[in-house]
A and B are shown apart, each in its own frame.
Chain A
Amino acid sequence: MSHALRADQFLLDADRTTWHDETLWFVREKRDRAVYAVPEFQALRELASQIKDHTLSRLDRYLQEFEAAAQANGVHVHWAADAAEHNAIILAIIRQQGATRIVKSKSMLTEECHLNPYLLQHGIEVVDTDLGERIIQFREEAPSHIVLPAIHLKKEDVGDTFHLHLGTEKGESDPQRLTEAARQHLRAKFLAGQVAISGVNFAVAETGGVVVCTNEGNADLGVNLAQVHIACMGIEKLIPRLTDLGVFTRLLARSATGQPVTTYTSHFTQPVAGKEMHVVIVDNGRTQQLGRPDFRASLKCIRCGACMNTCPVYRRSGGHSYDFTVPGPIGAILSPNIDMKKHASLPFASTLCGSCTDVCPVKIDIHTQLYKWRQVLGEANEIPASKKWSMKFMGRLLASARVYGLSGQFARKALRFLPHGLTHAASFNAWAVARELPEPPQQSFREWYQQQPKPVPQPPQPQVPA
């Protein structure tokens, strides 16, 4: 199913769509206020972009530097070529511990690898501890946003879910009381947790440590109470130096939610004596993306979600319409690298307005990459026949002044007597589903111009010597 068809489902509830649109725009406005308060914000974006470019240009070296430093800290480092290997490594660690109680803080990578269903198949239940993630886990849904996983839900939906799973009063929809119920429920899970899985926001090559940013404190609480910490990271999470965090911590939360910084910016470097820390370094298509010059900049992403909050298509189609772990503009340039056929419609889920590129804290040229993926998809014959042939037809038509002029003449006449049901037929004119065609003019600009009196040619002015 294409993005457009899934978006149709989302759009069935007009009030909710409007709410979703306005709520995310509100987050974008908060981002703007936070950004404008930092005079050097644009310089920081440029620095972040350069640091990430540099890191990718020496990625193999930094990966080894990180590994050596982490091992020197007593951390177990694992390498996973793909999602299956990532999942198998984690299962093996859990089994080695004989653990059954697993808590997990937010990690888009484990979502990408479908870790939870895999572990469930092997008899191990994982409790997602981020509030938004726990809500959607109860509902057996995927996150619809990388920072605000339950942004597609209203508080009444959460109330119903908690009534069902946590026994809160029926009809309870007060966010304060619902959050308190989740706090009590999850506290028991934290206290009992044996293995804690976390994502990684930044991995510092120099120190071998990983940095995890949360507002709720769920990563810290889970990791620091469990016997074993497993941190899962894509290879692109690396940064060279500890001081580079100065740049990224100033950009991340401001870009994401408009906060000056996340509540907890936690640096996990060594396990406590007697406990274990593991880092799983995952490729899963990333080195392939690194080899695509047009698209490798997508690996600079720090997962702030600013491109989603600002995107006019994301805001009005919802995260689930992308059917990919990372939705929105950045997801639309990451997903075709994973499965071009399945995600072929995503680079078209954009107006190419460029707002995503404008807000990206690491200056990824997102809308340019969306355009380039369209070319790749066209070449690979992964676009629908109707789009392919109409584009070919329009290309021919617009390339010839004579054909263009004749078509214009024809259309101006034909549109006067063709029935509305034909010109606006949804089956072949998706553009007109919610729009009216303009009134056809009597003549084209060219025809009008030719009727105007010819201007008298002026003699050339004599050149004045300098």
Chain B
Amino acid sequence: MTELSAEHCYHCGLAVPAGANYSQMIGDKLRAMCCPGCAAVAATIVGSGLGSFYKFRSAANTLANETSLELFLDWDIPDIQNEFISQRGQGQQSILLFIDNISCAACTWLIEKHLGKLTGIETVNVNGTTMRAEVIWNPEQLRLSEILNAIHQIGYIASPINDSSDIPEIKDQTRQLLLRLGVAGLAMMQAGMVAIALYAGSFQGMQQEWQTLLRLVSLLFVTPVVFYSAQPFFSNAWRSLKMRHLIMDVPVALAISLAYVASLYATFQGAFQGAFNESTGSASGEVYFDSISMFIFFLLLGRFAEQRIRHKNLLSLNRGNRLPPVTTQVFPPEHYSFEQSEKSARGHRIVPIKTLMEGDFIRVDSGQTIPCDGIIQSGDTQVSEALLTGESNPLTKQAGDAVYAGTINGANPLVIKVSATGSDTKLSTILKLAERAAMHKPRWASLADHVAGWFIGALLIIASSVAWYWYLHDPERALWITLSVLVVTCPCALSLATPTALSVASSVLRREGFLINRSYVLELLPKIGRVIFDKTGTLTEGNLTLRHIEPAAENSAVNKFISTRQILGWAATLEQGSQHPIARALQQYVAGPIEQQQFVTGSGVSGSINGDQFAFGNPKWVAEIAGIELPNNRGQGAQKKDSMHSKGIEVALARNGQWIAKLYFGDQLRESAHPAVRQLRSKGLSVSLLSGDPSPAAAEIVQPLALCDYQFSLQPEQKLQTLQQLQAQGQSVLMVGDGINDVPVLQAADISVAMGQASELSQINADVILLCNDLRALPRAIAVAAKTRRIIKQNISWAIGYNLIALPLAASGYVPPWAAAIGMSASSLIVLVNALRISRGLRN
């Protein structure tokens, strides 16, 4: 179903990097893979006979990472899994897993089949809508870590969750609405069938007896629709009236109840008249039962679609995945003293993080997330505080420095004395500030509710003047004409006009990876005049890649015999085991073991490979350690630590006291950044970058983009100021960001967009989540929003136009009730079909 071109990874759909040589036989074709992770996943899927997954999937998978059982061993500790596991009979256990990247129905099938093959698995039930899997297994035959690893082997990210939260509520709401919808649907069909007989009867003539019978039957069908299915409209209307605020549900509830009461009256009046006087026939009073049930059914259908999209967005927020680690290594106080180095401290054990107390000593290995606030006791390292400050370069920290929860230990193992945990950490404080900021954001009243205010006012005034006029001139007909005015002006089309268009648009955008959290986004998007990227990281990939290798000039004779491959092999081997961004950029070139490996924080790494002494790091440090002169071809620039210049970060490699090469690393623009900026500008929008990064490196990266303006080295307050100045000039601003520290700025923007990798909280606070990290979704969303706006306008003008024509006719008594009912239903259908046009022409 998803066909990908040759140069794209068959598994995840990303471009295959030049030189990468991974592939996998799928079906009878050899398919290219972008990385060992994807290749391993595809091999597992095909190897377990589930290769037909690729035929049935309707979306490309997400990029896979390599996995190993060790990553999940923590989950086998009873203290940790107990919280998530419930015991079933016969020695079985069950657990609920959140699966992060289910994209289509084929995914649920793949996971169920793959897990089902493990011995010890009793049942696996994957729900594609809630992205949850319930696994029942026998703990004596299978460990939890093996289950998690098996899911990761086929490329999905699973994490145990506790569903005490909002899931049961969502399930109840969905079921309730589905029941109301089903009842309305069944009753609508029955009432419609009876209505055909009634209409035929009113053309061809029908005995009073049969007419009354049929009316009573349709009354029977419609009564549960009014009292059960339409109940949410009544309760919403009542709530809004109590708050002295008119919403669309008020005229809806009014129309339903008036039409119902009038039909009820007509039915029984006809019945009594029929009993007493055969000759009067059906002259007075008409029934609208079929129109009522149809109207309620369509309204509920719209609401159901809207609720489904909202719930799906809520459920697919990255939960679990971004949480701090669940366990940590703690030293019992009696085993740890300051004199001991971290290596000799014994007896550390693994405990759940929530049991940590202030004053505990914990060990954080390199590459791990620090679980709490604390003071470093021993070890020096580099810590990435990107989550807190947005600063992507790691900071050097040593004993006595404070570290914060949520930051990542980049280089060496640390021993930390815990100073704050849980809700007392700096991270939580920032999160609370963000939540408060979110509450103060002004909300846009939706267009439909805005219209509802004057609509219901006008309706009541017109209806009462019509009643007054006919009461003076022809009191016999006054009641029926007034009622037909009310039914004709029923706000069906008007109340369907906006929600149907909005829910079609949201589901179209959802498929593009553009998740809308707040309903006003679609109405606001077309008014946006400026798009601001709040940091360089939103435009770039956010990790270092190798840009350029420069063999050392003075050793050209030696270097003739050294290939680029060899240089990379040495550098990667030296860096292996480190979590530094440079080490990660070189990961794929590792070639063999290393001895005497020694990391020096902030400088580099040294060690010996096959007996040769190597040093790799910033040129000045390498010169010192190798006892050689700095190569002078770089001049002053090379003196600077981690110097940034036009080629990126400069790192030197030396062997046995000789320069070998210099390697340059840098971040690179996202593939989608260029087209996205171009498309935004061609729509007449200004695009700017307000970055907190220090200028030279960042400026150089974004240079090729045709940004309107960019500013660097900004503090969050300065960003906020700039933003508010722009807003004061009357511009509406859409802001794209991902850091928690920038949440106040994001909140101040008219629309905030969080990237898919952003932390859970900034995602919840953002108006929009860009799940696919494809920036081109932005211009596409603006286009969809503009189209939606156009369609809403068409729908509303149609609805109002219809009312304007029908109203005078009904008020003068010329509209027969069957025409009123057909007009009412047809105008609703036209609005629905028009809304569906949004999804046309945008696919592909």
A, B bound: no
